[in-house]
Structure 1
Amino acid sequence: MASVPGARWYNAVWRWHFYAGLFCMPFVLWLAATGTIYLWKPQIEAWLERPYDTLAPAGPRARADAQVKAALAAVPGATLHKYQLPQSAGEAARVIVGKDGLETRVYVDPYQLRVLRTETESERPMRVISDLHGKFRAGSPGSYLVEIAACWTATMLLTGLYLWWPRRARGLGGVLYPRLRSGKRLFWRDLHAVAGIWVAVLALLLISTGLPWAKFWGSYFKEVRAVTGTLDGPQDWPTGSRSAMPGAHAGHGGMAMPHAAAPGADLDRVAAAVYPLGIAPPVLIAPPATIGAPWTVTSDAANRPLRTSITVDGGTGALTSRRDFAERHWLDRAVGYGIAAHEGALFGLANQLLGTLTALLLATLSVSGTVMWWRRRPEGLLGAPARLSRPRYGPVLIGAVLLLALAMPLFGATLSLVAVADRLMLPHCSGVRRWLGLAPIRA
């Protein structure tokens, strides 16, 4: 047993960093891969949809109402949910219709009123990537699992900083860059530490900006806002088992609202009223839930600070309300900026490159940690770190754990379960303790 003051805390942090790392590494690699793909959504979707954005105009463009009728004919029994306002002459109309709880995107040639393609919204390629990234395509249980992994990844990063923060370093080798000529063992240690130091702040920002989508944390945040009186209308991002993709909430705050039969001339009047406003695309027009109520027009721009939501009287084309991003509650704006940065949309190509670099560094952290573990572990054992005696300060650790548990309730809940198991079960399981590295191995 270590006797140096603070060594007990250092040893505990090192072991928890090790166990958190083993649990998180597969998730980190998965989230880094799927997240990187999603970062490049604009370029990927532009390539996938190029056949529907380069149509040759053939005569006058049909009215929006006629385009919707062609789309509805392709999905018998469906109703109009959203009409995407075209932005160029060669762009096919995108009409989203709903039937039996499913939404279908219909691509319509606006000149010949031919249906070019139908696609289930939930099966669109980037929607699938988003669902894999946020929920493993497993609904709420998947969201819970991703959230737990994200919370423990934050813990892994913070404990890693606690362990590796340079205090008596001589030079920058092993701190800001790996030493390449000091042997394989030191190289992998340096690569792991350096990647962690460079990526820690960015990764923590990435995790925190992703939590509002999570089933548990998103609901927790919403309840806190309700109690504190900071809710300000429907939030601009979905939580829970619904898709986190842009567009899932447009029109009715993410709710599966009924839609009235759309009077033909109303849609054309709304479209004509919206065009001159210069709303950031894509612009989605949704019919009212009841005949006579205003139509809802929303910008679904990936860069959320550019978003606007307005309502238009379908009978007259008059704007009845408008709310820009700057008018939302400051908490909504903060989350909006965070989500836009998380998705790589806040400051263009630089944001995408920075997000990709963060994902690559997280993958490097995971791979180097796995290599270090595999090279050092005793045969047949998990190979937890040996007990050392370098001092650290216990109160800092305790305070950090309490703050993390308060900020991330699923982390607190899972930590409590593990602590109870550690206290009540492991003392009676000497074989498991030896395998985990919690008891000394005797010859």
Structure 2
Amino acid sequence: MKNQNDSTSQQEHLPEQRQTQRAWYMTAWRWHFYAGLYVVPFLIMLSVTGLMMLYAGSIDNLRLKDLLFVEPAAQTVPVTQQFDAVQQAYPDATIKQYLTPKQPEDVSRFAVVSAAGQGLFVTVNPYTAEVLGSLDRDNNLYAWAESIHGTLLMGDMGDRLIELAASFAVILIVSGAYLWWPRDNASKAGMFRIRLTRGKRTFWRDLHANLGVVTAVFLLLFLLSGLSWSGIWGSKMVQAWNTFPTGVFGDVPLSDAKHAEMNHGDLKEVPWNLEQTAMPLSTPSHAGHHDGQETQETQEKSTQGNSIQGNSTPRKGIQGEVNLDSVVAFARVQGFTAFRVNLPKGEQGSYSILQSTMSNDITDATQDRTLHLNQYTGDVLADIKYSQYSPMAKAMAWGIALHEGDFGGWNKAVNTLLCLSFILISASGVVMWWLRRPKGKVALSAPPAPENMALWKGATVVIAVLGVCFPLAGIAMVTVLLADRLVFARVPTLARFFS
């Protein structure tokens, strides 16, 4: 008798459970739909420009091979001789940076800024010091795609719009995973399957859902690494908490300038966790290094300047004259392989040696390193290594190389497939909406809101937690929620359109 009563109770309770599950499903679908309205065009844009940046270098290598490659020889000429050749060829330009050749057949590159403010890469044969020509740093396929990818060519406004889209995309992933999760025989039938004979709506639903789930983790990694540079979530929250502390520089004087000023426009060259860190200053306090006569004061300063960076064995700076040749030689002795040298900016600037995945110099993030040298004495002002990065900064150092396809052909192939998948997911979402929209009716056809207001509030709390983590998305969600409940549902014309 007891078993019969229990069975009857379960049967009576089953419809209520199904109604609750259905209401939760419709709530998730409604949020998924609203988020998708905003995200889809941005996701397509990010994928297309991502593909452009992925292959821009390969295209340039084919198109500009006479400017980028030379016949290797037995011996290179001094870097200062190459520098002088560039200065003679471009007498009105200011040389900002020297980039070492990565391979024997690669050219040397000097980043210069013309008198008119145009950024150029001047290429030089490292074996003869012959100036081969110049490349426009500001007006090329990569720079153009990067500017759209990061700011929509709209500056801070574009950055905020993209940050909002990326934040909404995180909500899109979470709600999409919930919608995909099998909860009955019908949903299990489409799990990791694309049913070709069940009609158009089923085909596109299976394609959209399964492809979305398979690529969700990768999309999330792309989004989080991109959001780490955004103006609100990135610079104000995540990046600010992971910025390299200047306190480890000891008593080295610091500038008002930040490391981010070494970036070239929208192009990122400086490691992510250093962008907001102040730059060290050069002072001519102990010029004995210039003639190789190191005084006791210099030795003490050198020891102090190296010990504050956490190195067990104090290292001395450059011995002798400090110039581009000695800086490059010192960098190689220190273990730098493919790197760039930023020349001192003004009387208090320093020689900055950078080697990182961020600037595509290397692909092994553990070799990330930034070294600043006093332009007068050659003392080490700061030596920042991967081992000193925060966990988030380490993840970014690896993530950027993967994000940009720097690990070779397999990495490019995977990223290409992912970008194409993101485009297909976005397009399939639009097709699904088009197929289910009411024929002959002007309406947005959003999934209906659940009648259970308590449930609606509960689902809103869950998604609001994500909104708190991503402020712009949180503000937008509150706006949508208020508009949905207070305006769209009460104004007949709007209610019909959003129904």
Shared fold, TM over 0.5? yes
- Residue pair 2:259, 2:278 contacting (<8 A) in 1 also: no
Alignment of 1:227-246 (within 5 A): 231-233=244-246, 243=265, 245-246=267-268
Alignment of 1:67-106 (within 5 A): 67-99=82-114, 102-106=118-122
- Residue pair 2:152, 2:158 contacting (<8 A) in 1 also: yes
Task: Give the secondary-structure state (helix, strand or coil) at the position aligned to 1:362.
Answer: helix
Q: CA deviation at 1:329?
A: 2.4
Greater radius of gyration (CA): 2
Q: CA deviation at 1:166?
A: 0.7
2:269 paired residue among 247, 254, 260: 247
- Residue pair 1:269, 1:316 contacting (<8 A) in 2 also: no
Tell me the amino acid that sits aligned with residue 4 of structure 1.
Answer: Q
Structure 2 residue 402 is matched with structure 1 residue 341: yes
* Partner residue, 2:34: 19
Q: CA deviation at 1:128?
A: 2.0
Count, aligned residues? 427
- Residue pair 2:464, 2:477 contacting (<8 A) in 1 also: no
* Partner residue, 1:409: 471
1:325 paired residue among 386, 410, 413: 386
- Residue pair 1:257, 1:289 contacting (<8 A) in 2 also: no
Q: In 1, distance between residues paired with 2:176 and 2:258?
A: 34
Task: Give the secondary-structure state (helix, strand or coil) at the position aligned to 1:384.
Answer: coil
Q: In 1, distance between residues paired with 2:474 and 2:27?
A: 17
Query: Could you list the runs of 5+ residues in structure 2 that have no partner in the other structure?
Result: 1-15, 248-256, 283-289, 291-320
- Residue pair 2:259, 2:279 contacting (<8 A) in 1 also: no
* Partner residue, 1:370: 430
> Please, what TM-score do these two structures have when normalized by structure 2?
0.73
- Residue pair 2:281, 2:349 contacting (<8 A) in 1 also: no
Q: CA deviation at 1:434?
A: 0.5
- Residue pair 1:4, 1:390 contacting (<8 A) in 2 also: no
* Partner residue, 2:445: 383
Q: CA deviation at 1:187?
A: 1.0
Q: CA deviation at 1:9?
A: 4.2
Q: Which moved more, 1:64-73 or 1:402-411?
A: 64-73
> Please, what TM-score do these two structures have when normalized by structure 1?
0.82
Q: In 2, distance between residues paired with 1:280 and 1:389?
A: 64
2:174 paired residue among 158, 161, 166: 158
Alignment of 1:151-230 (within 5 A): 151-169=167-185, 173-221=189-237, 225=241
Task: Give the secondary-structure state (helix, strand or coil) at the position aligned to 2:110.
Answer: strand
Relative to structure 1, the CA distance from residue 102 to residue 218 in structure 2 (aligned partners, 3 Å threshold; closer, same or farther) is farther
Task: Give the secondary-structure state (helix, strand or coil) at the position aligned to 2:493.
Answer: helix
User: Deviation digits for residues 167-199 of structure 1, max 9, x if unmatched?
Assistant: 224796411121112222211111111112212
Task: Give the secondary-structure state (helix, strand or coil) at the position aligned to 2:344.
Answer: coil
* Partner residue, 1:421: 483
- Residue pair 2:229, 2:239 contacting (<8 A) in 1 also: no
User: Deviation digits for residues 101-150 of structure 1, max 9, x if unmatched?
Assistant: 55322112345544322233222322222222222222211111111111
- Residue pair 2:99, 2:341 contacting (<8 A) in 1 also: yes
2:418 paired residue among 351, 358, 383: 358
Task: Give the secondary-structure state (helix, strand or coil) at the position aligned to 1:156.
Answer: helix
Q: In 2, distance between residues paired with 1:258 and 1:103?
A: 25
Q: Which moved more, 1:194-203 or 1:5-14?
A: 5-14
Relative to structure 1, the CA distance from residue 138 to residue 73 in structure 2 (aligned partners, 3 Å threshold; closer, same or farther) is farther
Identity %: 29
Relative to structure 1, the CA distance from residue 236 to residue 258 in structure 2 (aligned partners, 3 Å threshold; closer, same or farther) is closer
Task: Give the secondary-structure state (helix, strand or coil) at the position aligned to 2:106.
Answer: coil
Tell me the amino acid that sits aligned with residue 206 of structure 2.
Answer: D
Tell me the amino acid that sits aligned with residue 38 of structure 2.
Answer: F
Structure 2 residue 47 is matched with structure 1 residue 32: yes
Query: Could you list the runs of 5+ residues in structure 1 that have no partner in the other structure?
Result: 438-443
* Partner residue, 1:430: 492
User: Deviation digits for residues 283-310 of structure 1, max 9, x if unmatched?
Assistant: 1111223558652111143334432122
1:299 paired residue among 330, 349, 355: 355
Q: In 2, distance between residues paired with 1:298 and 1:46?
A: 23
